[in-house]
Amino acid sequence: MSSRTFILARILCIALACALSAACADSPPHQIAVAEAPPPAPEAAAPTEAAEDAGAREIPPPDAAEVRGAVERIFKGAVTIVPARESQFAVGDFNGDNSQDLAVAVSPTPGRLGELNDELANWIVKDPFAPASAGVPYNQARRRVLVEESDTLLVVIHGYGAEGWRDAQATQTYVLKDGAGERIKARAQKAALASGEEGRLPRLLGDVIDETVGGRAGFLYYNGAHYLWYDPRGYKPLPPVRVVHGGAVKEVRQ
């Protein structure tokens, strides 16, 4: 190859290289930023059990037939619902366990006292008017209360679960000797607390049962073991009871 041909070849290569360089400078970069697509909207969550429970229907008020059925389920005919009374029953959460309870005025069925006073019966007989003994815890009280044919009783059926006293498993029942008065009705715990003066009310675990007994208005309340009568005109707070639990001594207000 002549020197002239070699020089022309080199000039041609340089020109070609320059042309390619200029073309690359004018072209867009190989990496082009692409805007990210927004994330897909989340699907609506399926309703949870809690939401379904929150929207569940409220428990309807009881009717006379339901009340009779509940009393019959527990007592099997040993008591009779008191007729011709202004208010025969009341419903509320009387023991504070978030399950609806039922209080009903009844009388002993003639000839069935043995069943009512049976120590193995599926209910607890108490006298709500018996004076409490200062300094003696309620769970140490041993005096047995017996029902007599002349007694007018108030039975309280504690509820079980969401269905309350309507549930077939609702069997814990108290029989309150002479506990059925006039104008029986339930009053919410909050309303009962708001109506009394500080230090002038017993410790309330749940709703109370308002009524008038012997011409005196008051209410029945649950103290954790049984039902007691509260008369605002004669109530005197008891000193706290000293209870020993696990080696520690604590005071419990009655």
Q: Please, which pLDDT band fits residue 33 given cuts at 50, 70 and 90?
A: very low
Please state whether 231 falls in left (phi above 0), alpha (psi between -120 and 50) or beta. Answer: beta
Whether residue 30 is contained in a domain is answered as no
- pLDDT on residue 232: 84
Whether residue 248 is contained in a domain is answered as yes
pLDDT in tens, 168-201: 999 999 999 999 999 999 999 999 999 876 568 8
What is the residue-wise DSSP string for 72-89? HHHHTTSEEEPPS-S--E
**What percent of the chain shows pLDDT beyond 90?**
51
Tell me the C-alpha distance between 215 and 217, whole Å.
Answer: 7
Domain membership of residue 120 as a residue range: 59-252
Q: Are 176 and 154 in contact (CB under 8 A)?
A: yes
pLDDT in tens, 47-67: 444 334 433 446 778 888 999
SS3 content of the chain, % helix, strand, coil (to 5): 25, 25, 50
Whether residue 190 is contained in a domain is answered as yes
Whether residue 196 is contained in a domain is answered as yes
Whether residue 9 is contained in a domain is answered as no
Average pLDDT over residues 34-50: 48
What is the Cα 222 distance to its own chain's centre? 15
Q: Which amino acid is at 178?
A: D
pLDDT in tens, 54-104: 334 467 788 889 999 999 999 999 999 988 665 789 999 999 999 999 999
Whether residue 98 is contained in a domain is answered as yes
Tell me the C-alpha distance between 16 and 7, whole Å.
Answer: 14
Whether residue 236 is contained in a domain is answered as yes
Whether residue 200 is contained in a domain is answered as yes
Q: How many independent structural domains does the chain possess?
A: 1
Q: Decide which of 34 and 242 is more confident.
A: 242
